[in-house]
Structure 1
Amino acid sequence: MPAGIDEAFLALPLSGLADAALSRARELGAAQATFRFERVRKAHSAVHDRTVRGSLDETVTGLSVRVRRRDVTGFCAIAEATPDAAARASEEAVAVAEAAAALGERTAEPVPEPLYRNKSWVSPAAVDPFSAPEAERTGTLLGWSGRLLSAHPVKHVLAHLFAVKENKFYADSAGTVTTQQRIRLHPLVFVTGAAATLRTLGPPTGRGLEYLDGDGWDWDAELAALPGHLAEKERATPVEPGVHDLVLDPSNLWLTLHESVGHATELDRVLGHEASYAGTSFAAPESLGSLRFGSALMNVTADRTAPHGLATIGFDDEGVAAQSWPLVENGVLTGFQFDRGTARAIGARRSTGCSFAESARHVPLPRMPNVSLRPAPGGPGVEDLISGVGEGIYLAGSDSFSIDTRREHFQFSAQRAYRIRDGRLAGQLSGVAYQARTTAFWRALAALGGPSSYQVFGADMCGKGQPMQTSATSHGCPAAVFAGIRVVRAG
């Protein structure tokens, strides 16, 4: 029995369901077939001021079959967990492939992958959030809310806790069989004063309830500082639009990295396959090895193996083992993210393991791994970067953003923005938003923080596809200085 995987999930007839589906697919002439059985449990607790305002605990369970028949892919998902239902899913998937083939559709043959027989993987969560009673989870939020409400100038508090546990069983006709469990947690607190609102910066993470006790983030320190930040924001001076040097805290830079680099290097966007939701990309297959994405300080890595990463897994939804690889090296584009099908478009011999579906009800799509900007070895800390800027703006915390359908032109704002004067912070500014063209922005990277400034943030509700699917991904960044960036005053 794989250690740590939910016993109730393992008690399901997973192998029997897979055998029924895969054998039926073979009988119907499928050249390849994959089977997934998934149980995704999600919980959400919400506290407004000193009152519990909402609680949700839902589980989505189902199986799906994807087949390759007559050079076309067919897919079917069924909620029923019986061998007959699994066989019926294969029949429906083959019928879909046959219908698409009759219309002249063709899909690329997946590139090969080594076999992994009876492998398991469990994310490193010390305390399963679903092992604790609901009262314990809301009790933490109520405690935080009461503490903040007692501090000036906080008038209202909205506290959330999101928890997700994914159990996944995968088997394919080649012989790979994997079982996985992944847990993530996201506490989120908003404080409102008379004229401003702020939220905590603590990121979603691949941890369990131990995260609330300070394992991975100092919640006590952040909650203690939040009222003071709010008071200063309410006194903030409107920013003067113009061209400024920016010092971006990793709590702000991660979102810019996600939108302008992470999504821009998804190969299906580059190829134009993914255009209906959030657009394509300015990059092209022939850009590899030649596109000057940023300054020589820019080194970006894609990774499915980082500890506690939101996109960290053992195997993807095509049976590909997790790995890491470079996307940008010394400012030059050197990699993309892709699955076994899109790999052939650039002549890759192996997938980067980026196939993922929100649940068994969804067709797997190429989805973003953890994408991180590497710090400068021996580089400076945040304070040292600020001290090196005579006049500029320091931004912390992600907020609103806008980016065009080619991931080329964007605007981002922040939770908090500070004027830098003579290398020191000189009070908060309001309405700060920065605009740039993606490659011009990253080429303006003038200084990079070292490991002491490096932090990991991320998105746990990243949307893609039609119908839309969500996935989660982490982004590590150091603090960084960008020279001569256009700043506007946002409403």
Structure 2
Amino acid sequence: MAQTQGHPQTQGHTPPHAHEIDPAFLALPLRALADAALARAKALGSDHADFRFERVRDASWRLRDARVAGAWDVTDAGYAVRVVHGGAWGFASGVDLTMDAAARVATQAVEMAKLSAKVIAAAKIDTTARSASGEGWRWATGGRVELADEPSHGEQTWVSSYEINPFDIPDSEKTGLLTEWSERLLRADGVSHVDATLMTVQENKFYADTAGTVTTQQRVRLQPQVTAVSVADDGDFDSMRTLAPPVGRGWEYLRGTGWDWDGELAALPGHLAEKMRAPSVEPGTYDLVVEPSNLWLTIHESIGHATELDRALGYEAAYAGTSFATFDKLGTLEYGSPIMNVTGDRTAEHGLATIGYDDEGVQAQSWDLVKDGTLVGYQLDRRIAKLTGLGRSNGCAFADSPGHVPVQRMANVSLRPAPEGGPSVEDLIGGVENGIYVAGDRSWSIDMQRYNFQFTGQRFFRIENGRLAGQLRDVAYQATTTDFWGSMDAVGGPQTYVLGGAFNCGKAQPGQVAAVSHGCPAARFRGVNILNTTQEAGR
């Protein structure tokens, strides 16, 4: 069932197995470009300026029935200058690696800020105007830009925790492993087709600002995934995917460090065969035991996005809407049951959103979002932290490319397990008389306030009198965010904790994509509404 993976590390420390920064990245004129850009921005009267040089290499492979069906290897490189001038943001980017070009980009950023200041002044926007209903606050998107204080960190280097850089592995070994896995599944009874994919990323960033912080960082992450498809003689079909999450690890992950690939691939055909002959679920109210491989996505959608403070203030609505967890509810909203404790964390070892310093020069931190069931915190960048009077940013600014401005992005948002000695998965199941055990994510739907939702999964098992009693099909669980988390009556111990996540969290316009992890234990929920998806679809 659940597999243990990773524990938070001490913030600001270089992870174990740390590598040197890629020499090819260090050979670029990073400091000279930054010096030229920041000097020009200061000379033009900027209150703040930062320079970011970014190089992101993204390589992926896809196999269909053990044959290569697609591959790419793309590098995006360039630099950006962001300024606060006259109380307004300015931003520009470039690719010309000369000092004169960097200075011109800084000049363009200042000119953009001057134009923005004129627009804001003409609009006469009140940044703390009461909403028409008189409830809560409407936070306008204009107003004078001020940033929360952050100490200068001097010169810092940080490399994520991995053993073998996947880009040091020959492509033939990558496709060879995916081929071997695919062929292993294709030999199994009942498996008609197999899709296998591998996504790998190496991200390098150099950051410098006028306060004196200079950071050079390197992150590696990868996502392997294998899907088996079964097609019956009568035309019925279904699929089942590996539950292994994407991780901030290296090639060692595919060799068995952090996940039992041989065990999962061996079990997959049997699970799929059982699913094909499983009965359709009877809709109704059931107790649930939800595995981390499914629960991470519910956390992402109903807690992760809802506690992004720019959404809660109404600054942001792209992709995931705003939030029911509005700023006036901070400290009072009963998000869930008293055993619910959720952290935002930019320091978790192997986390996809783990960093040393964010794209505003803020050191990575871990903090409480939900404590004993109550909303106590949000995810912040420097402007939002200053605007709301919440003090220091907790390091949630990120841009996915040199051509994009940093925006407030999600940390590794995780549900904390019970203390050592806490329940096992078997203990959680043993406390259920009539319920369903849920494993693996699939489809989901949630409203634009992150409140009303339904989720499906990869595998559903009936629980009868504390024991698993075979698989079910066509299952979706439905609830409101506060009802669902309020129904949680038990969380598993640390041995059930797994760090799940995704590569493709979308936000902003123009759209940006960020990778993020969500750790959680297995957890039990009482009296959750279960839908039959086939009946709901009218079939």
Question: What is the TM-score with the length of structure 2 in the denominator?
Answer: 0.90
Match of 1:433 in 2: 476
Between the two proteins, what is the percent identity of the paired residues?
A: 58
The structural deviation recorded for 1:28 is 1.3
CA contact (8 A) 1:277 1:466 kept: no
**Which digits, 9 at most, give the CA deviation of each residue in 1:443-473, with x for residues without a partner?**
1001111112111111111001111101011
Report the count of equivalent residues.
490
Q: Where do residues 209-220 of structure 1 align in structure 2 (5 Å cutoff)?
A: 209-220=251-262
The structure carrying a bigger strand percent of its residues is 1
Match of 2:385 in 1: 343
Question: What is the TM-score with the length of structure 1 in the denominator?
Answer: 0.98
**Which digits, 9 at most, give the CA deviation of each residue in 1:294-344, with x for residues without a partner?**
000100011111111101000000000001000011101111001000002
Instruction: Say if 2:263 is the partner of 1:247.
Output: no
Please point out which of 40, 43, 60 is paired with 1:27: 43
CA contact (8 A) 2:66 2:183 kept: yes
Please point out which of 71, 79, 83 is paired with 1:55: 71
Please point out which of 304, 308, 328 is paired with 1:262: 304
CA contact (8 A) 1:357 1:469 kept: yes
The structural deviation recorded for 1:29 is 1.3
Q: Where do residues 95-106 of structure 1 align in structure 2 (5 Å cutoff)?
A: 95-103=111-119, 104=121, 105-106=142-143
Instruction: Say if 2:520 is the partner of 1:477.
Output: yes
Aligned equivalents of 2:86 and 2:205: distance in 1?
Answer: 28
Match of 1:185 in 2: 222
Aligned equivalents of 2:192 and 2:154: distance in 1?
Answer: 56
Amino acid at match of 2:475: V
Aligned equivalents of 2:498 and 2:19: distance in 1?
Answer: 30
Counterpart of 1:461 in 2: which secondary structure?
Answer: strand
Amino acid at match of 2:426: E
CA contact (8 A) 2:305 2:320 kept: no
The structural deviation recorded for 1:143 is 0.7
Q: Where do residues 103-182 of structure 1 align in structure 2 (5 Å cutoff)?
A: 103=119, 104=121, 105-182=142-219
**Which digits, 9 at most, give the CA deviation of each residue in 1:218-241, with x for residues without a partner?**
111100100001101101110011
Dislocated runs of 4+, deviation >3 Å: none
Please point out which of 305, 310, 322 is paired with 2:347: 305
Match of 1:87 in 2: 103
Amino acid at match of 2:169: A
Counterpart of 1:236 in 2: which secondary structure?
Answer: coil
CA contact (8 A) 1:63 1:81 kept: no
CA contact (8 A) 1:125 1:208 kept: yes
Aligned equivalents of 1:132 and 1:151: distance in 2?
Answer: 29
Amino acid at match of 1:29: G
Match of 2:497 in 1: 454
Match of 1:398 in 2: 441
The structural deviation recorded for 1:3 is 5.2
CA contact (8 A) 2:84 2:145 kept: no
Counterpart of 1:353 in 2: which secondary structure?
Answer: coil
Amino acid at match of 1:60: D
Amino acid at match of 2:496: S
Instruction: Say if 2:315 is the partner of 1:273.
Output: yes
Instruction: Say if 2:50 is the partner of 1:15.
Output: no
Aligned equivalents of 1:126 and 1:140: distance in 2?
Answer: 18
Change beyond 3 A, Cα 1:131–1:17: same
Counterpart of 1:196 in 2: which secondary structure?
Answer: strand
Pairwise CA RMSD of aligned residues? 1.0
**Which digits, 9 at most, give the CA deviation of each residue in 1:134-187, with x for residues without a partner?**
111111100101111111111111100000000000000111100000000100
Counterpart of 2:457 in 1: which secondary structure?
Answer: strand
Aligned equivalents of 1:96 and 1:369: distance in 2?
Answer: 29
Counterpart of 1:73 in 2: which secondary structure?
Answer: strand
The structural deviation recorded for 1:106 is 3.0
Aligned equivalents of 1:310 and 1:275: distance in 2?
Answer: 23
The answer for unaligned runs of 5 or more in structure 2 is 1-17, 122-141, 232-236, 535-539
Counterpart of 1:4 in 2: which secondary structure?
Answer: coil
Instruction: Say if 2:52 is the partner of 1:36.
Output: yes
